[in-house]
Each structure stands twice: as structure tokens, then as C-alpha cells.
Amino acid sequence: MAVVEQEKEQTLTVQLPASVVSDIESEARKMGLHPSSYLLALHSFRTGRADPSLAPAIREIFTHDTKTLKKLAE
């Protein structure tokens, strides 16, 4: 079994215009994500760590299958 070493997490704080924050929050809600998760997903798509074609699947899972996700989390 392979052991995967996890990176240390850090917090990134950015100053943005209120309209940009509102747009990010709105887009995140459409995908059923928190803004930080939405931004991480965008970064993953941009850097090639995740295929952009996964976006519809993410939206489907987090907006329509929330009950299933909650059960899995338990």
C-alpha cells in the first residue's frame, strides 16, 4: 500500500471588490460549493489537475445528490 504525504495547508486572504466576491459566491452556489471549494476547483481545472469536463458532474453531485453525500459523510 502506498503512503501519500499530505501538504501542509495554508490560508490565502485576498482583497476583492464586493461585486467580484458576489459573483464568486453566486457561481459557487450554482455548483453547490463553498466559495473556497469553487476557487480550488477552478484552479484544478486551470492547472490540468482536473478535467474541465468534470464541472457538470460536480454541479450535479453537489446540487442534486446532497442527501447521498451527507449519508456518505456519516
Supply the pLDDT for residue 15. 95
Supply the pLDDT for residue 49. 78
Tell me the pLDDT tens digit for each residue of 19-50. Answer: 999 999 999 988 888 899 889 888 888 888 77
Q: What value, to the nearest 5°, has the Cα angle with vertex 49 and ends 47 and 52?
A: 80
Supply the pLDDT for residue 22. 96
Q: 55 to each of 9, 32, 39, how far by Cα in Å?
A: 24, 11, 12
Q: Is the pLDDT of residue 4 over 70?
A: no
Q: 18 to each of 15, 22, 23, 58, 64, how far by Cα in Å?
A: 9, 6, 9, 26, 29
Supply the pLDDT for residue 48. 81
Rounded to whole angstroms, the Cα distance separating 11 from 70 reads 26
Rounded to whole angstroms, the Cα distance separating 70 from 68 reads 5
Give the whole-number percent of the chain exceeding pLDDT 70.
Answer: 77
